[in-house]
Amino acid sequence: MTNTTYYFSAKKFDSKFDNIIFDPLFKKIVRYLFDHKDTEIILRQIKATIPTDDNIELYLDKLIKYGLVERKNRRYTLTFPIYSTEKNIQIPHSIINTLQTLTNESSLQTNYFIFGQWLWRLLFEEEQKEYFFGVVSSSDNFPLFRKREAGNSALQFVSIYQDDLIPLDFANYFNILSKRQVLPEQFNQLQRLIGDVDINYFITQIQKVIRSVKRNPSRVRKQTIFEEALLTTEDLLRGTDGQLSLTAVCLDAIEISRETQHTLDKLKVELNLLWGTIEDVNQCEYYKMQCYSILFTTCFPDQKSIQYFKF
């Protein structure tokens, strides 16, 4: 239970859940209730097992309010499942082979569109339902993936990454800032450069840098903190000759061929059949997460994440 990660989607409580799962008291209560799920647990037992200066009864009321704990006849139980990743699902080879062939024959931009936009939307956004569950990590598990987006209508920073790491990119930087959480150490240099800059102003300045580099990569220019920020995240690289090059994958005018679209339409039908009979929302979402993980790690065996700019 020490390596448990929580996944959720609840429009009313998303921001609340973020705060709840980072509270040490939450992990202690969940572990105790999970370890004793076959017994009847009363408040006195919880208080005796989990000493705290906080009002634990008030905290339990909060968990009940958000639907994470149930109190019935003065007995407390968890309302959400905690899964193990020791056993992986099986995906038909026909689906894996089709997607592998497609990504091998497509450009990097198209591949990032397929996994970052098309497949992610199919699995997690087309029929979005509320869910909450935990996953206990194991040494032989398939890592699950998260997606982070930050930006505005002009430019979105997108990051999809294994849950055991947080890449140094703008999507994660601005998401962590927006939640007022502590930035991981790898963001220290970026924080020194741009601090808590307004994201809309930041995007305006980034667009200027990108346009300038595209027009004349070899031009000598006074370096700004925004250019330095792009160099820090390696979305911009400076060669030994001083020439700048934009390395960020940009999804601005992706044109999918008729053949590729036909393949994606066929894959959509086949993929929907895999989880179509799973009625439990949590089980269905967990199944989809495992499905994405297997397909991602199969098609990008040497990568743990993808980042791109979406214009």
**Average of per-residue pLDDT values in the chain:** 93
pLDDT at residue 43 above 90? yes
Q: How many residues does the chain have?
A: 311
Give residue 140's pLDDT.
66
Give residue 73's pLDDT.
96
Give residue 14's pLDDT.
74
Distance CA 283, CA 264 (A): 25
Distance CA 107, CA 60 (A): 51
Give residue 223's pLDDT.
83
Give residue 16's pLDDT.
83
Give residue 164's pLDDT.
86
Read off the pLDDT of residues 130-151 as tens digits, 9 standing for 90 and up.
Answer: 999 999 987 666 789 999 999 9
Read off the pLDDT of residues 76-122 as tens digits, 9 standing for 90 and up.
Answer: 999 999 998 766 789 999 999 999 999 999 999 999 999 999 999 99
Helix (H) or strand (E) holding 226: helix 225-232
Helix (H) or strand (E) holding 6: strand 4-9
- Confidence (pTM): 0.92
The Cβ-side half-sphere exposure at 202, using a 13 Å CA radius, reads 23
3-state secondary structure at position 85: coil
